[in-house]
Amino acid sequence: MSSNAFAWPLAIERQLLGGAERLAATLEGPIRTAFVTGSYARGAHDPWRPNVNVYFVSQPARAAEGRWAVGELWLGLREELREQGAELVVDCHPFTLSFRDPAYAGRPTLTVTSKVLDGGARDRRYYLPPTIGAGWAPYLRLLHGPQDDVAELSAAARRDAEWLQAYHEALVRYRGVLDHLPWAFDWRACPFVLLDESLRYAEEAIRDGVAIAQTDEEVERDGFLDVLFAWPQRAPAFFRERFGPVGVQALEDVAALKSRARRGPPSTEAEALAAWNQALAVWQLVWDRYCAVAREVCPGESWRWRANAFM
């Protein structure tokens, strides 16, 4: 069964979002609010592998309890989808691997990006960095809960130390994951999983490259969204202008890797190794640009252009 043949809209609405709404609506439960945003809310998700950004707000001081409850939701949904011949991957970036079972590699796959925000920190934007939220607000769909819980998610950003710190944290974590992938699982038993995970982090890095390469004016008006929301049309020209030929090559490499991942397993060890090396190269391209911006925005703070190793 191909991903395109699977009834994803029905599964997403009834099983995924219906389950999230029911969880938030449970009387006296730890979760009070659920909402969906991102490409699915915009009607622009990838039918080959839909990714749904579904987030929750906990009751104050009950975030840990809420995260456990959401974990049970994902376990139940994974079981349901497997019975229907599909698979669920909870996108845990930037941490090494969500649950991946090689026995289910290549099935129609739904990825879910999720987080439980602590409801006690609403007045502090739930401690979200200024780089998070700009793309949420225009297309956010509230599933359950008070509108006030999502009213402050959008935030004005500018190229300053706090903005820079958010990208430093993200890129360093991506690199730590990529460094660990070769021994995070038995990839020789299923090389496709290494190929697939490498793609995920190559995509994360190259998308951050768009935001990092913005001008002051573009940052203030969230101009990176113009590229992200019209990627096939706008990304080639953007990378040609901001990164030159190596940027265009990186963009083409990620597109080729994604095309290969669409074909699914089996794959060879050589393909997996090549995918991993491509992801590292894409990360390096974006990191080099980040370091140049860091030296401009925060000169003299050398820790900002150091990618510390995970220990």
Range of weakest confidence among 89-103, 118-132, 195-209, 246-260: 89-103
Q: Name every residue whose Cβ is closer than 8 Å to that of residue 98 and which is 6 or more positions away in sequence.
A: 89, 90, 91, 92
Do residues 9 and 147 both lie within one domain? yes
What confidence tier does 1 reach under pLDDT thresholds 50, 70, 90?
A: very low
In a domain, 197, yes or no: yes
Please give the backbone phi and psi of residue 31, each rounded to the nearest 5 degrees, phi first: -100, 130
What confidence tier does 5 reach under pLDDT thresholds 50, 70, 90?
A: low
Output the pLDDT for position 3. Answer: 47
* Cα Rg of the chain, angstroms: 19
Q: How far apart are CA 136 and CA 141, in angstroms?
A: 9
Burial class (CB in 10 A: 0-12, 13-18, 19+), 253: buried
- For 34, the domain range is 3-151
- 239-269: pLDDT as tens digits: 999 999 999 999 999 999 999 999 999 999 9
Strand partners, 87: 109
In this model, does residue 2 exceed pLDDT 50? Answer: no
Do residues 210 and 80 both lie within one domain? no
In a domain, 311, yes or no: no
Do residues 260 and 181 both lie within one domain? yes
End-of-domain residue from the set 127, 151, 175 = 151
| Cα torsion 162, 237, 244, 44: sign | positive
In a domain, 310, yes or no: no
Pairing mode, strands 87-91 and 141-144: unpaired
- Average pLDDT value for the chain: 93
In this model, does residue 175 exceed pLDDT 70? Answer: yes
In a domain, 227, yes or no: yes
Do residues 26 and 48 both lie within one domain? yes
In this model, does residue 96 exceed pLDDT 70? Answer: no
Nearest Cα neighbor of 33 from 115, 111, 112, 93 is: 115
Output the pLDDT for position 99. Answer: 79
In this model, does residue 310 exceed pLDDT 80? Answer: no
Range of weakest confidence among 4-8, 235-239, 288-292: 4-8
- 266-308: pLDDT as tens digits: 999 999 999 999 999 999 999 999 999 999 999 999 999 999 8
In this model, does residue 151 exceed pLDDT 80? Answer: yes
Nearest Cα neighbor of 18 from 36, 4, 31, 5 is: 36
In a domain, 50, yes or no: yes
* Average pLDDT rounded to a whole number, residues 141-163: 92
Alpha carbons within 13 A on the beta-carbon side of 269: 5
Output the pLDDT for position 274. Answer: 97
Residue 136 or 267, more confident: 267
% of the chain exceeding 90 in pLDDT:
81
Nearest Cα neighbor of 178 from 243, 306, 269, 273 is: 273
Q: Name every residue whose Cβ is closer than 8 Å to that of residue 192 and which is 6 or more positions away in sequence.
A: 102, 105, 106, 261, 264, 265, 266, 267, 272
Could you tell me the CATH number of the domain that includes residue 45? 3.30.460
Nearest Cα neighbor of 45 from 143, 107, 111 is: 111
Residue 79 or 310, more confident: 79
Per the structure, the count of domains in the chain is 2
Q: How far is CA 226 from CA 119, 293, 304, in A?
A: 31, 21, 27
What pTM did the predictor assign? 0.93
Do residues 26 and 93 both lie within one domain? yes
Do residues 39 and 179 both lie within one domain? no
Residue 291: how many other CB atoms lie within 10 Å:
17
Q: How far apart are CA 84 and CA 239, in angstroms?
A: 40
Contact (Cβ atoms closer than 8 angstroms) between residue 96 and residue 70: no
* Average pLDDT rounded to a whole number, residues 15-28: 93
